Structure 1
Amino acid sequence: MSSIWQAWTNMSLVVRIIVGIIAGIALAFIVPNVTAIGLLGTLFIGALKAVAPVLVFILVIHAISTHKAGAKTNMRTIIILYAIGTLSAGLVAVVASFLFPTKLTLPTSTEEISAPSGIGEVLETLFVSLVANPITAIADANYIGILAWALLLGFALKAASDTTKTVITNLSEAISKVVQWVIQLAPLGILGLVFNVVAETGLSTLSEYGRLIVVLVSCMLIVALVVNPLIVFVATRRNPYPLVFMTLRESAITAFFTRSSAANIPVNMKLCEKLELDEDTYSVSIPLGATINMAGAAVTIAVLSLAAAHTLGIEVDLWTALILIVLTAVSASGASGVPGGSLLLIPLAASLLGVPADVAVQIVGIGFIIGVVQDSCETALNSSSDVVFTAAAQYAKER
């Protein structure tokens, strides 16, 4: 048994998730009445629901409190490009979600959930959530309140001693480790989720996931092939496609298979050297981009949050959509560095739309099912964009 378990754990998470999907479909046809199998999905969703609020709270406090002031002025253009790129990606995702709305079949009934009447009710809920008790906010998965308190505590702790900041860093690393443990259970959880869906509704429901993947991947392709080149052209006034195609070929492909922006840093550094960029700049911008330049994550968070809203019949007006774009960009920049980390921030964005935490976490579970494709494409876009914007900043300066 130990050798079988070791062989299983040595397999990549992508392969194990695929095995879980196939096993879930097969078991739904072979033993559809064995409801205990579906319990695996329930437990997985419960673990996600438990860890996600704490993750957001700790990571935001850590990011704010440990931020060091006095960054080099030559990084300003790159940071601005990172911000524009992430906001633009969120905009593309929101527009695509309105043009091609996706409704999903969820295991839990949503018939009694009432949608907010408009931006007034949304803003009222937003302001009330902001001043919620922090313990209550975490317990109730009130992500707006969690974010507000995390920001306040983060700024308050900027003046704390190095010892205190070390404790905060250790807490951040610890919760990230817990998230990694939960994600390692994803194949079993996905087996249970797929079993429940197929046993209750048949294979037709899985076609909804195919539509969702098409919307996600199409948005990411638009960002990579249209939005990013347009940003580069405006900044540099030169043809952006030679640079874009080179980064897609030499950075995006490796990031697609490693599914880790951090693991792709050496590849991007070598590519920057090949492009003869300033080493003092890219030695900072590339690691920084692996942390905050998250256009792909912005697409994922926006599309899945709006899919939750469409599923519940929630009408999202223009002003709410604009707020969502900003919140999506901020959430994406704080996405956890583990595979699937952006999925855990979906409840934060979905809460703005009036989507209950229980439903949002079910959407996260669906995100893990499609993550075999989604996370690879997301990482490819995130990582390759780091080089694109680093090069664009230098070319703009040389112009």
Structure 2
Amino acid sequence: MTREVKKYGLNVQLAVLAVSLLLTSSNIINGILPQIRDGLHVSNAAAELLSTTPSLTALITLLLSPALARFLGLKNVIGLGVALVGISGVVPMFVNDYTVILISRIVLGLGLGLYNSLAVAIIQVMWAGDTRSTLLGIRGAFENIGQMILTALVGVLASSFGWQGSFSAYILAFAALAWFWVVVPDVKLADNDDEEADGSGDVFAEKSNVVILTLFVLFAAGYLVAMQSGFVRWAAVTQEALGADFNTSTIMSIGVAAGIVSGFGFGALNKFLGDMNTLYLGIFIEALGCFFLYFANGSYALLVASIICFYLPGPILGPWLFNQLPKYAKKSQQAFWSTAIMIGFHVGIFVAPLAMTAIEAVSGSKDLAVSFLPFGIALLLIIVGVFAYTHMPHKSADTTVKA
């Protein structure tokens, strides 16, 4: 057991992980958008804007968060972000004006972006080795757990207290904030590259490998394009094949549960398979999801398998990227590259519907699943490319990723 594990035990670990329960909370209102639309007397597009706007405004504070964390401290900035989520989240409980609610959702996005990458950075600062790998995987699982719990809670609250009452789900942010604030110590991001000051046992890169790190960011955006496409298109493909009355939410919850399991298992999986085999497995599972959806042709089994394959690799590939950063980025640049990868995720989510539209336009097909064949092929080509690169001779050994 490392010194960090002894110093920062289970209570601190859970408090750090708890703030990640809220990171996907911007879309927990998706199931009640029709009620919000009717209650505010706005269009479908206007109601949907309340769900999508936070993802865009989060990019603003996501870019600023590493600098703010160095100036104010990790704990203070994360605490501020969670507080903004809680305060802005409950505003719609008390107002019935669309403009005010939209502003509150803008602030919600700013709060989420403020600590999105820092929820990863604080784990990288406080823990090392296998403990860090495990916690990074569990952190991803906590995002899925939070989404599942809060979405269900919103549905229950909406049926009991109306659409405005459903926003009381955001009160949980204050509970997470209180736990985090009382239990977690004030830690700081590294301002220099003095390894002795870290004390974690990690060996950080002496010089950041910008090429590899940029490829990490591009990969983050790329695999999110295919994954997010699966998330948003799966229900339409399934209902087109099995009927509009088919309950897709129940099957999707199975996928979410699969993602939770893979998140909790990431640390052990990465330790057992090694870095590169874990990467290949995550990409291959996602490619399978694409092929299953494309070739499903109304098959219930393939449709269920596809959504599971879309949810499984996220808690593997995301933590894998963050876990590689000490090998390729200087200690003082860990937060910067964590943020860059997070931005890659957001770009991938934004590009996903555009990519599907482009493929449909080029192919001339009206098949809702037509995009997933090229997505699957592209993912397999990534595996081939990475395998070829890591097995060819290099002049400098520090440019390769080793298992």
Higher relative contact order (CA 8 A, sep 6+): 1
Q: TM-score range by the shorter chain?
A: under 0.3
Instruction: Give the TM-score normalised by structure 1.
Output: 0.24
| TM-score, structure 2 as length reference | 0.24
